[in-house]
């Protein structure tokens, strides 16, 4: 099965499992050091792997 990737909407780089990210209220993942142009409040932060495993709306294949 083909690996899925998700990219930061600001810097356009694919996330690595160890990247520090934030999750905003719109359920958008952003690198912690990328500005959130939508000005949505953050609801969580951690590594990309932690966020994907924590929230059921993400596909775990993003980590394989």
Q: What pLDDT shows up at residue 2?
A: 60
Domain containing 8 equals 1-64
Predicted pLDDT at 8: 93
Q: What is the pLDDT of residues 19-54, one digit of tens each?
A: 999 999 999 999 999 877 778 899 999 999 999 999
Residue 3's pLDDT is 65
The tally of domains found in the chain comes to 1
In angstroms, rounded to a whole number, what is the distance separating the alpha carbons of residues 37 and 1?
34
Task: Indicate if the pLDDT at residue 1 is higher than 60.
Answer: no
Cα–Cα distance, 21 to 28 (Å, whole number): 10
């Amino acid at each position: 099965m083909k690996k899925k990737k998700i990219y930061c909407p600001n810097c356009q780089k694919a996330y690595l499992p160890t990247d520090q990210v934030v999750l905003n209220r719109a359920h958008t993942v952003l690198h912690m050091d990328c500005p959130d142009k939508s000005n949505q409040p953050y609801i969580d932060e951690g590594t990309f792997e932690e966020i994907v495993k924590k929230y059921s709306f993400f596909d775990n294949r993003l980590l394989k």
